[in-house]
Amino acid sequence: MTTGLEHRRVAFVVANEGIEQAELVDPWNAIVDAGGRPELIATEAGAARAYHHLDPGDTFTVDRTTADADPERYDGLVLPGGVANADRLRTDPDAVAFVRALAARAPVAVICHGPWILVAGAHWVDEQVHVDGALVSSRKPDDLPAFCEQMVRAFARAEPAVPESVGAST
């Protein structure tokens, strides 16, 4: 079943180590279930290692690096949490540039420590999910069901970045 994300490409931007697995996998699956095309973009090529808090989790194949990814190709941005992930990501100049460019023109969904790369005088609210224009944010993994629902809605409302005939095959 799809719900409006057909032919939409969503960038999941991570460091190669320290991603909170549930905060990567649940939103990823929500995008796929809604008909979208998620891509894993990391600071380095190869694989990205996720964790269940401090315990090693699965590894995931990186589709593109932050240096090579073109923000104009994406319709939305997801920033999963994980303390080490967020800390490494915010110090990578290519990641900062990619996130800044994409966030300026597309919906952004961030959870837990994911917002660190966006920090510029933010106001924290204690809510399961908070929608502020094109920004969807949540506090922690327990909020994932509400977060995923609002994330899909935000991405479905946005105009596609690449026309269907161009973006559907690449």
Answer yes or no: is 170 within a domain: no
Kindly state the tokens that stand for 13: 């931007």
Give helix 83-90 / helix 93-103 axis angle, nearest 10°.
Answer: 90
Answer yes or no: is 1 within a domain: no
Kindly state the tokens that stand for 121: 């005088």
Answer yes or no: is 113 within a domain: yes
What was the pLDDT predicted at 3?
Answer: 66
Q: Of 7, 52, 113, 123, which is the active-site residue?
A: 113
Of 27 and 168, which is predicted with more confidence? 27
Pairing of strands 135-138, 108-111: parallel
State yes or no: pLDDT of 137 exceeds 90.
Answer: yes
Kindly state the tokens that stand for 97: 């540039």
| pLDDT tens per residue, range 67-120 | 999 999 999 999 999 999 999 999 999 999 999 999 999 999 999 999 889 887
Of 167 and 78, which is predicted with more confidence? 78
What was the pLDDT predicted at 125?
Answer: 86
What was the pLDDT predicted at 169?
Answer: 47
Across the beta sheet with 47-52, the strand order is 17-20, 47-52, 55-61
**What is the identity of the amino acid at 89?**
L
What was the pLDDT predicted at 77?
Answer: 97
| Nearest to 9, CA basis, from 43, 35, 36 | 36
Q: Of 7, 52, 53, 112, which is the active-site residue?
A: 112
Structural domain containing residue 41 = 9-161
pTM of the model: 0.86
Number of domains in the chain: 1
Answer yes or no: is 2 within a domain: no
Q: Catalytic site residue 113?
A: yes
Answer yes or no: is 15 within a domain: yes
CA torsion 119-8-94-118 (nearest 10°) is 0
CATH of the domain at 27: 3.40.50.880
Answer yes or no: is 166 within a domain: no
Tell the residue number behind the tokens 């989790």, with chain if given. Answer: 57
What was the pLDDT predicted at 60?
Answer: 98
Answer yes or no: is 115 within a domain: yes
Answer yes or no: is 66 within a domain: yes
| pLDDT tens per residue, range 23-74 | 999 999 999 999 999 999 999 999 999 999 999 999 999 999 999 999 999 9
Read off the pLDDT of each residue in 150-169 and give the average, rounded to a whole number: 77
